[in-house]
Amino acid sequence: MKMKIGNPARNAGGKSAVFLVRTFIQTGAVLLASATLSTRGAEGLVGHYYSGYNVVSNRIVFEGLPLVSTQTNTVFDFWNGSRYHDWNPIGSGYYTVHWSGYLHITESGTYGFGTISDDGSEIWIDGRMVVDNNEEQWYDWQEAYCYLGAGYHTIEITLYEAESYSGIEVWWLQPSQGMSELPYTGETFHSTPPVFNSNTLWEILSAPAISTEAPFVNPYLMIHPGASTHTAALTWPGFTNVDYYLESSTTLTNWTGVGGAIPGISGIMTQTVNQAQPHTFFRLRLE
């Protein structure tokens, strides 16, 4: 049986998450001068469409399912706003879709991501789950927020269909838009289609913000306990022929440089830093 979980007009706190709750942060980056649109791949995300579905420990799993087709999608709007709509990209039957590629961020800041889907859906950025809308449900909305630095980030979107109606829309809210009302409202998605909110500043995720390849991907910055008190070791996968600049902040608003240029290498890079404050955030930019 499909159930509506929560009220889409509110932030469903049990599912939503903001990444900035630890003493590390996904990095910011400035693109290389040569990293222009001409060097990136085709616009859109590559979608692998599978027959059947598999959910393990409340996560959508596509490995082992029969692959039906592969196609590139540039606009993530596969729902016509009606609870009677049944989008089935493989023709008939249960299915799973796994989209993957890169998200091009031009402005560092806090981004919102959300899906309305039937059944479950997820959004993963840089290997971490951002949106958990994974229920066997009628069309349900879920959003979350995270900080992203300028540059390219990996993105994955998964969707599975278990029974009756199906479809998905993927939305995002850019920092320049500020706070916004959600795209849909409605107390009960089960019996009443949600109502589109024309005042929303959220936008359907689409090209050119997404691409199948990227010239550079923002480094995934991790923090580990240092060898002595109040120190930490930062690690990230490096690139050659670029310089990295490390910055720190306790407010996420004002950033201060830590040392000078760090020449890039092809491999895991490590930098030891002082961490006098209990909540210090770090980010990288590359030039």
Q: Which two tokens stand for residue 12?
A: 């469903």
pLDDT at 236: 84
Burial class (CB in 10 A: 0-12, 13-18, 19+), 180: middle
Instruction: Pick the more confident residue, 96 or 13.
Output: 96
Give the residue-averaged pLDDT of 221-247. 81
Confidence of residue 235 (pLDDT cuts 50, 70, 90): confident
Amino acid at 47: G
Q: How far apart are CA 268 and CA 236, in angstroms?
A: 6
The overall pTM is greater than 0.95:
no
Domains, the chain: 37-211 (2.60.120.1560), 222-286 (2.60.40)
Give me the phi and psi of 53, to 5 degrees please: -150, 160
* Model pLDDT for residues 90-148, shown as the tens digit of each residue: 988 899 999 999 999 988 889 999 999 888 999 999 888 999 998 766 678 899 998 88
Instruction: Pick the more confident residue, 28 or 122.
Output: 122
Give the residue-averaged pLDDT of 205-228. 83
Amino acid at 70: T
Confidence of residue 190 (pLDDT cuts 50, 70, 90): low
